[in-house]
Structure 1
Amino acid sequence: MRTIALSLALALTVSSSAQSQSAAQALYDQGKWQEAATAAAALNTSAGLALAAQATTGGASLAPDNQKKALFSKAQDYAKAAIAKDPNNANAYFELARAQGRLAQFVGVFQSLGLAKDMKGNLDKTIELNPKLAGAYVALGLWNANLDSGGIKGAIAVQATGANRSQVVPNFEKAITLEPNTAIHKIEYANALLLQGKKAEAAALLEKAIALPANTFWEKRDLEAAKATLAKLR
């Protein structure tokens, strides 16, 4: 009887945790990123802390520029805590890489290159743990596109990180194969192509992206940005 009671208590705890995770995710999907991050972090689980990192990184895009660096650093801390809880959580490594990529935009050149190298390592780890996590391939595509962008600055970045623009297309194509109806993959692919001056190809991708449904606050925001970019290309 005691064993049955313990099993029931454990099952209820797991169910409650899953519901709380879902509730935090729902808050994030509505654009309530601060509430989502707080609720997710309070779970003190690897999944919860990874969601807190995602919410904080997403929220930073809405914050004033003078707050962004601190938020990306906070997101990085959440992701590291998620990895400490579960070293096999692919989402945690992905969120760490994403936070590092954003943070690199707000630090000096040498520190940014260090973050870029760490980001690549965390994306590789993400894919090792979950080869079907499409967002990791999108991030790798952008990583190569941004670092191997030509010019002296690009040459320095390539030498320091090993980035290669030939890896842009394969990574994005992999992501779109995995999740063909996810608009942000096509939008980011278009952004990467624009870095290479490929306006016609980018416009074609954006046309496909804006035809896809947008359900969450973030998806709707992405589509509005895509429409604005497309209007400038026409």
Structure 2
Amino acid sequence: MKKIFISLFFIILVSLNFTQDYQKLFLHANSIRSVEEMNSLIRILNTATKTSENLSILCQSLTELANWGIKDESERIKTYEKAIEYGKKAVKLNPKSYYANYVTGTAIGRLAQFKGIIESLFMLGDFDKYLKKALELNPNYSYTYIALGMRYRDVPWPLNNMNKSEEYLKKALELNPKYSNIHYELGILYEKINKKDLAKKEFEKVLTMDFHPDWIAQGKETIELVKLELKKLNEN
């Protein structure tokens, strides 16, 4: 009954033109990590006009659903692959869309993370191509810097670059200072390069911040991760 109600609610919102802003529907579903709402939005987008923007939102919706809403490994892989397919179509329709390039790159990055180091190295070129194009098209979008910061931190040597990672993450923080997860990612970076005092400072900062309205569930999850990292640092 709950699933039926949510589906009807989403359909009514769109059909009555109460809101045609699929992005807002995505942000709400993603913020609270509602599988039902995200699946409803995906169904709506699958029947919507195939514009670059709609396909981009569909790509990001599928990527986030795979990140936190799907447990079966084979299903997650299929969902990431579908997201990439829609993302590439969005870029083809509008190559100058920073958003289309960003969501396509992040979908590729998520699939690469999930598949492991060896396979991910073969996907790195595509990831870089889309994310760097997104950055070129919009140098003020903080999430592109976050994705690139994590890329340069997490890939193996000689493809990593901790200085670049720090540069990108600090720029993201400058653009989006209320997003606590950037402090967490910086903390992981500093921990990785053995700057434990700086790592501790970043982790402790997370505990003092309110949740970003677009990332409430993630914020709660990050609090628990930060507590584990601080415990580990204090024990060493």
TM-score over 0.5 for the alignment?
yes
CA 1:145–1:25: 2 relative to 1, 3 Å: closer
Q: Gaps spanning 5+ residues in structure 1: where?
A: 1-12
CA contact (8 A) 2:80 2:108 kept: yes
How far residue 225 of structure 1 moved from its aligned partner, in angstroms, is 2.9
1:175 to 172, 177, 194: 172
How far residue 145 of structure 1 moved from its aligned partner, in angstroms, is 1.2
Segment of structure 1 superposing worse, 215-224 or 73-82:
215-224
* CA distance in 1: counterparts of 2:197 and 2:44, whole angstroms: 43
Matched, 1:36 2:38: no
- The alignment partner of 1:92 has SS state of helix
CA contact (8 A) 2:56 2:99 kept: yes
Structure-1 residue corresponding to 2:55: 49
Segment of structure 1 superposing worse, 28-37 or 128-137:
28-37
Matched, 1:229 2:212: no
Aligned pairs (5 A) from 1:148-163: 149=156, 154-155=157-158, 158=159, 163=160
Structure ID, larger Rg: 1
Structure-1 residue corresponding to 2:144: 136
How far residue 87 of structure 1 moved from its aligned partner, in angstroms, is 1.7
Counterpart amino acid of 1:50? S
Structure-2 residue corresponding to 1:58: 64
Counterpart amino acid of 1:131? P
How far residue 134 of structure 1 moved from its aligned partner, in angstroms, is 0.8
CA contact (8 A) 2:55 2:90 kept: yes
CA contact (8 A) 2:22 2:57 kept: no
User: Structure 2 length normalisation: TM-score?
Assistant: 0.77
Question: What are the superposed Cα offsets for residues 55-101 of structure 1, whole Å, 9 maximum, x if unpaired?
Answer: 22222222225133222212212211221232222112111111111
1:165 to 162, 166, 191: 162
Q: Report % sequence identity.
A: 25
CA contact (8 A) 2:45 2:58 kept: yes
- Aligned residue-pair number: 210
RMSD, aligned CA: 2.5
